[in-house]
Each structure stands twice: as structure tokens, then as C-alpha cells.
């Protein structure tokens, strides 16, 4: 998949600083980043079965070393509607546990098709236009929203362009963007109700920021802002990942940065016109594989020790600036370009024609420099003002509500007064501005609040809260089946938040399987009564289960017309019918196929059933050669 990201991808970060000279009631430091960006999805993708994906049906932002309470706002004015915010954890290669937040935008699976929205949550319908990625060029970073028609594309519907964003109130770890594409049925090539990450993630790195206090005895007591950006990671089977060119511009300002300024040609945003803005003119980045035994995963595997040599290009680019006195913000613009030079065939290390860091402002060798890939605008503000967020995630009865930051900035603690409506039972807004709990009542409604910070500043917010019913298994029972006859039944769920995933415990009838979308299908081959349980899990991690009993009856096969008699010597193997299906029966563990009346012979019975006495009879001529055979059912 080719993925393009429009310029600029903007991140706005904020910091509230506490120093010894500040008033004793000042709150502890907080940090934040805000991201809004356009991204284009090319639909030419292939799933694990080799099927061609037909459309992108969602987008996912993965943020490591963060919690859902750190996200006070997520943008949702796109085709996929309001995203879900979920939190989990993972263990890295060093056995260290990390938290992780996923912001998941997804179309809705309605009936048997993915449907997208065109009017902010009220008009879902199947796509009617194919995406033409070849018509796409860069946008201003805030163009691909509902109701727009980018001048650089045919229409919003056919551009493949979407707009995403999230506010993060804590310095994150690794941030990854992935398109979501349908899981296709390997037999029919049709979309199912499940989504998966695209083969290729969005290839624009995200810089990480850290803010440190100055040395105690420093004359300048402004904080030091550090920024680190890394090249794409190396896959397990290579010593190096793909290389990438980057340019960096920076600018300090005495004004607070605003998101709309980072989307336009505002004077506070660096664009390279002033030579003093240039931090890094050109630098080639390439990540090395941290696993010293990477060559064992190569195809074919390479012998130990793995080939290793000093890296030509660095894996990360670091920048560090102390804000000048009187300045309240710093912003960096990162531009990314593809690397078109060569690679070592064994290690995948870049072998550029020219310098990896061209001196004196020179451009890279034209043979090494590829197409523009995208840009990021990232900045840091001092002294965040008191602010509220009215974008709240959907909740579910009985499921822990994804902690949402409703109030930020100002001076903690906050005092909240409900002026209209009421919070759902089980939810509460803490004195640090986080809405959390386990809701026990379903419903949708407006709640108005007045929030006052410790300094006395007051701000109002109205929340539109939506709590859905707990997910339940809606299918009461499953139909029985017949051995040898194709079976198909669908499981349904009610409540919860789609998409859902189905699993099972217990033993299914042999020949049947349960798909992740809740389809029980196959051809059972053994009669009996089978007990098993199904578990359905929704996008908020709500679960429900139900036990089922499916009876598989002993089917019968109506034989063909009576076969002619046979005379001659014969060999017989007597047993019983253990199972059967269309065109075959199993006797003594041997699957015997029959297609005409010359292969099957019934003695005093009209149909075949499991347990009937049977014998396989082979007729030989005078030379001992088998000239005919029958399956005789008595």
C-alpha cells in the first residue's frame, strides 16, 4: 500500500511550569501534544490470504507509554464518525510492561457491508465512489473533512483523504499510525465484519518531546526543550530499516502557539525563508536492528555471527533548545523525503551515492533524493490556559469508562458544579479534570458544568454523553444439523460498540468452525450432541457469553438405481458405516467414493445411515486382477 500524508501534520504541545519562585499554590507541571493532519489511503492492498483489499474502512493511532486519561480530545469530523479510545498494555523485548492507548476510527458493519458516514453520525451508507489515489496531491493539512471538496482532489468522496487528530496531555512514547482494512473471506474474497491493520503503516515518524528545567545556577531560567525523531524501525530479518531524508526548521516565539496558526502561513511558523530557522538542512536517517542475531530471521537464514558494520547514517535525530527570555513557545517543522539510493543486499544498509549529511546547505545527490512524503509541525507552549474538552468517548454499562480529560491547564485542583442535567450513574469528574468510572445506566444526554481552578478562574463546558447498553449475545439457540449436509448459522449481538469479535470454548461438531464475525459453518461429519460456549467482545472490551447445544443427526443418503448382479470370485471386508457424505462413505477407516450404480449395492435397505452393516467386495478375474468392486450395505 502507498500512503501519502498531506502537509502539514501539526502537533501542538503545551507545558505548565512550576519553579521555586512561583506562588506556593501553583500546580505541578503538565505536558501536552495536539495532532491534526490529513492522510491519504491507497486501496491497493493485499491481506494475509493474498486477497486484494477494496477500501480503507478505518484508521488507528497507537500511542505507547500513555493512558486514555491523557487524551482530552479526539477529532471525529470524518467519514468514520466518533472514534473509540481504548487502553491496554504490552511487554517489550526486554520484558518491560508498557501502557498503550488506541484511538480507533472505524466504519460501521451494517448488514453485510461496511458503511461510512456523510453527515456527522446520522447518514451511514455503503461507499458509492472508488478512490483514485493518483489524483491526490498535498493539502494544507486540514482539508479532508466532511463537506469539503479539496481543490487538489476530485472530491472528498474519491480522494481517499481523511482528517484525524488527538490531544495528548503527557509526553508519549512511540506513536504509530495505521489504516484499517477489511479482513476478507479466503473462500469468497468478500469483506467480513472484522478489520485489521494495513500491510504498510503511515510512513511519517512522530517526534517525541521532553521538557527539562535549566541548571539551578543558570542565568537563563527558561526550560530546555528536547526533541527526538527516529527513522522507521528495522524488520526482524534485516540489520537496518528503510532510510529516510529529513529537514528540520525551528522558531521561538513570545506568543502562545495556536492550532490554526500551525495550519496556515502564520509568521510564528518556520518555513525555511529565514536562514536562522534552519536547524538541520538535510540528514539521512536509518535505524539499526537492536537484535544482534537478526540474521537468523533472514530468508534464507545467515550464519552467525551476523554481518555488522558501523552505520553510515544515524538512527535518530536530536534537537535541544533553551527558550530565550520572554519567549513562550518553540515550534519545529520536520519535512520527510524518500531515499532513492542503493542498499546493501545482505544487511539493507544504505549505500548512498553522496553524503548522508550534505555540508554547507547543499542538497543530497539527486540519485539519493526521492519524493516528498509529508511533514510534521510540533511545538511546545508554556503556561497553558484553563481549557475544557467536550469530546467524550462512548461508554458502556458495566465496562470501565475510558478515562477522559475534560479539564486541563490552569491551576489544579479543580472544583466542578453541575448546572444542568446530571452525570451518568457511576461516572465522576475528579479534581484533576478526569471523567472516569463504570456506568450503570444507558442513555444519551447533555450535562452542563462550571469548572473553577485553584486560582479562581471559571470555565463552562457542556458534555454530550452517550452510554450504550451492555453487549449481549442475542441469538437464543442454534439449529441442528445433519451429518454430511452443509451447515450455516449466524450469531448476533445487541448493545455494546461495534465492531465485535466472536470466539468459542468447548468442542464444536467435527467439520464446523466459528469465524471471528460469528458465522458457524462447515459440513458436520459425525452425529451427536455438542455443547460449547461463545464469547463476543466489542471495541470497548465489553464481553458477553452464551452456551449452546447443537445436535447433529445421522443423515441418510438415497442410493442410485439398483445395480446389476455380478458373478465370480470375490474378497469381502465386513464392518459398519461410521460416517458418510455426498458421494462417499467411510468403512473400516477407508473412505470409499461412489459415483454410479456400479459402485454401490444395497441389500434390503433404501438409504444409508451410520451404523449399518457394510462390506467392501472386490471381484477378481481368473488371473487375480480386480475387475469390479461394490460397497454393499445390508
Burial 248-277 (b: 16+ CB within 10 A, else e): bbbbbbeebbbbebbbeeeebbbeeeeeeb
> 518 vs 361, which has greater pLDDT?
518
Q: Please report the pLDDT score of residue 113 as a whole number.
A: 81
pLDDT digits 0-9 by tens, 566-591: 444 555 667 788 777 666 777 766 66
Split at pLDDT 50, 70, 90, the class of 137 is very low
Q: Which three cell numbers stand for residue 40?
A: 491519504
Residue 530 has pLDDT above 90, yes or no: yes
Q: pLDDT band at residue 139, thresholds of 50, 70 and 90?
A: very low
Range 89-116 average pLDDT: 87
Characterize the bridge pairing of strands 493-494 and 584-587. unpaired
Would the pLDDT of 197 be above 70? yes
Residues 271-283, mean pLDDT to the nearest whole number:
74
For residues 92-117, average pLDDT:
86
Alpha helices (H) along 511-564 = none
Mean pLDDT of 302-319: 75
Cβ pair 1, 42 in contact under 8 A? yes
Q: Is 297 helix (H, G, I), strand (E, B) or coil?
A: helix
Q: For residues 393-404, give the mean pLDDT.
A: 92
- Looking at residue 395, what is its pLDDT? 93
Per-residue pLDDT band at 287 (split at 50, 70, 90)? confident
- For the sheet with 434-437, list strands across it: 404-405, 434-437, 427-429
pLDDT confidence of residue 159: 59
More confident residue, 592 or 325: 325
Mean pLDDT over residues 431-450, rounded? 92
pLDDT at 346: 79
Q: How far apart are the first and last CA of the chain?
A: 61
What's residue 560's pLDDT?
44
- Among positive and negative, which fits the CA dihedral 435, 441, 442, 443? negative
My answer on whether omega of the bond before 147 falls inside 30° of 0, hence cis, is: no
* Cα–Cα distance, 481 to 22 (Å, whole number): 76
What are the tens digits of pLDDT across the range 203-239? Answer: 667 777 777 777 777 777 777 777 888 888 888 778 8
Residue 269 pLDDT: 61
**472: burial class by Cβ within 10 Å (0-12, 13-18, 19+)?**
middle
Least confident interval from 173-187, 337-351, 479-493: 173-187
Query: Among 573, 610, 569, 609, which Cα is nearest to 590's?
Result: 573
What value does the mean pLDDT take over residues 509-515? Answer: 91
Query: Nearest Cα to 399, choosing from 13, 1, 84, 27?
Result: 84
User: What is the DSSP secondary structure assignment for residue 63, as one 8-state letter?
Assistant: E
Q: Are 238 and 348 in contact (CB under 8 A)?
A: yes
Q: Over the chain, what is the mean pLDDT?
A: 75
pLDDT of residue 151: 40
Contact 97, 124 (CB under 8 A): no
More confident site: 370 or 438: 438
Res 580: pLDDT? 73
pTM over 0.85: no
Omega cis (within 30) before 8: yes
Average pLDDT over residues 422-434: 91
**pLDDT tens digits, 541-554:** 999 999 999 998 87
Mind listing the pLDDT tens digit for each residue in 245-270?
988 888 887 776 654 454 444 556 66
351 pLDDT tier (thresholds 50, 70, 90)? very high
- Predicted local confidence at residue 153, as pLDDT: 38
Averaged pLDDT for residues 404-418: 85
Instruction: Provide the edge-to-edge strand list for the sheet that holds 108-110.
Output: 108-110, 113-117, 124-126
Cβ contact 125:116 at 8 Å? yes
The H helix count followed by the E strand count for the chain is 2, 48
Q: What's the pLDDT score for residue 544?
A: 96
Tell me what pLDDT residue 565 has. Answer: 46
Instruction: Give 360-393 pLDDT, tens digit per residue.
Output: 878 899 999 987 766 666 777 665 678 888 888 8
pLDDT of residue 31: 33
| Cα gap 536→516, rounded to integer Å | 9
Give dist(CA 493, CA 397) in Å, integer. 15
- Reported as half-sphere exposure (CB side, CA atoms, 13 A), residue 1 has a value of 26
The more confidently predicted of residues 597 and 529 is: 529
Which pLDDT score, from 0 to 100, does residue 628 have? Answer: 63
Let me know if 300 is exposed, middle or buried by CB neighbors in 10 A (0-12, 13-18, 19+). Answer: exposed
Amino acid at each position: 500500500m502507498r500512503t501519502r500524508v498531506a502537509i502539514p501534520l501539526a502537533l501542538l504541545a503545551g507545558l505548565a511550569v512550576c519553579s521555586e519562585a512561583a506562588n506556593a499554590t501553583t500546580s505541578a507541571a503538565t505536558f501536552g501534544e495536539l495532532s491534526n493532519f490529513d492522510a491519504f489511503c491507497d486501496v491497493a492492498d493485499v491481506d494475509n490470504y493474498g486477497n486484494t483489499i477494496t477500501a480503507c474502512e478505518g484508521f488507528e493511532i497507537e500511542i505507547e507509554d500513555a493512558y486514555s486519561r491523557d487524551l482530552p480530545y479526539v477529532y471525529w469530523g470524518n467519514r468514520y464518525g466518533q472514534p473509540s479510545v481504548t487502553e491496554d498494555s504490552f511487554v517489550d523485548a526486554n520484558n518491560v510492561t508498557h501502557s498503550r492507548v488506541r484511538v480507533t476510527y472505524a466504519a460501521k458493519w451494517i448488514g453485510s457491508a461496511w458503511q461510512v458516514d456523510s453527515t456527522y453520525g446520522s447518514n451511514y451508507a455503503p461507499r458509492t465512489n472508488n478512490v483514485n489515489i493518483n489524483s491526490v496531491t498535498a493539502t494544507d493539512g486540514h482539508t479532508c473533512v466532511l463537506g469539503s471538496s479539496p481543490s487538489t482532489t476530485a472530491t472528498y468522496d474519491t480522494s481517499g483523504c481523511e482528517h484525524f487528530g488527538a490531544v495528548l496531555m503527557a509526553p508519549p512514547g512511540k506513536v504509530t499510525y495505521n489504516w484499517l482494512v477489511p479482513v476478507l473471506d479466503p473462500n469468497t474474497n468478500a469483506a467480513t465484519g472484522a478489520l485489521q491493520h494495513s500491510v504498510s503503516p503511515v510512513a511519517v515518524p512522530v517526534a517525541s518531546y521532553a521538557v527539562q528545567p535549566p541548571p539551578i545556577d543558570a542565568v537563563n531560567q527558561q526550560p530546555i526543550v528536547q526533541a527526538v525523531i527516529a527513522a522507521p524501525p528495522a524488520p526482524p530479518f534485516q540489520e537496518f530499516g528503510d532510510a529516510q531524508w529529513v529537514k528540520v526548521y525551528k522558531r521561538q516565539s513570545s506568543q502562545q502557539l495556536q492550532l490554526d496558526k500551525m495550519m496556515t502561513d502564520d509568521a510564528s511558523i518556520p518555513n525555511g525563508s529565514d536562514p536562522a530557522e534552519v536547524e538541520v538542512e538535510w540528514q539521512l536517517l536509518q535505524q539499526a536492528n537492536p537484535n544482534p542475531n537478526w540474521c537468523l530471521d533472514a530468508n534464507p537464514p545467515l550464519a552467525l555471527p551476523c554481518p555488522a558494520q558501523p552505520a553510515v547514517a544515524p538512527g535518530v535525530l536530536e534537537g535541544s533548545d533553551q527558550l530565550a527570555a520572554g519567549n513562550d513557545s518553540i515550534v519545529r517543522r520536520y519535512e520527510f523525503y524518500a531515499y532513492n539510493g542503493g542498499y546493501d543486499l545482505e544487511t539493507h544498509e544504505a549505500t548512498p551515492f553522496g553524503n548522508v549529511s550534505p555540508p554547507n546547505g547543499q542538497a543530497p545527490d539527486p540519485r539519493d533524493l526521492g519524493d516528498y512524503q509529508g511533514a510534521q509541525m510540533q511545538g511546545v507552549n508554556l503556561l497553558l490556559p484553563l481549557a475544557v474538552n467536550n469530546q467524550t468517548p462512548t461508554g458502556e454499562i458495566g465496562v470501565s469508562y475510558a478515562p477522559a480529560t475534560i479539564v486541563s491547564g490552569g491551576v489544579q485542583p479543580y472544583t466542578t458544579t453541575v448546572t444542568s442535567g446530571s452525570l451518568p450513574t457511576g461516572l465522576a469528574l475528579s479534581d484533576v479534570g478526569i471523567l472516569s468510572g463504570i456506568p450503570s445506566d444507558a442513555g444519551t444526554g447533555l450535562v452542563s458544568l462550571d469548572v473553577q481552578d485553584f486560582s479562581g478562574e471559571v470555565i463552562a463546558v457542556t458534555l454530550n454523553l452517550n452510554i450504550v447498553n451492555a453487549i449481549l449475545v442475542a441469538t437464543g439457540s442454534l439449529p441442528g444439523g445433519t451429518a454430511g449436509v452443509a451447515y450455516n448459522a449466524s450469531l448476533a449481538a445487541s448493545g455494546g460498540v461495534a465492531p465485535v469479535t466472536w470466539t468459542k470454548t468447548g468442542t464444536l461438531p467435527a467439520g464446523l468452525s466459528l469465524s471471528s464475525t460469528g458465522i458457524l459453518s462447515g459440513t458436520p461429519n459425525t452425529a451427536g450432541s455438542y455443547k460449547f460456549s461463545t464469547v463476543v467482545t466489542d471495541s470497548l472490551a465489553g464481553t458477553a457469553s452464551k452456551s449452546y447445544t447443537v445436535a447433529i443427526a445421522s443423515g441418510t443418503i438415497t442410493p442410485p438405481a439398483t445395480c446389476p448382479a455380478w458373478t465370480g470370485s470375490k474378497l469381502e471386508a465386513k464392518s459398519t458405516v461410521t460416517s458418510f457424505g455426498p458421494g462417499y462413505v467411510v468403512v473400516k477407516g477407508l473412505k470409499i467414493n461412489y459415483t454410479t450404480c456400479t459402485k454401490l449395492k444395497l441389500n434390503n435397505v433404501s438409504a444409508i445411515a451410520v451404523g449399518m452393516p457394510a462390506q467392501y467386495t472386490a471381484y477378481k478375474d481368473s488371473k487375480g486382477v480386480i475387475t469390479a468392486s461394490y460397497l454393499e450395505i445390508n
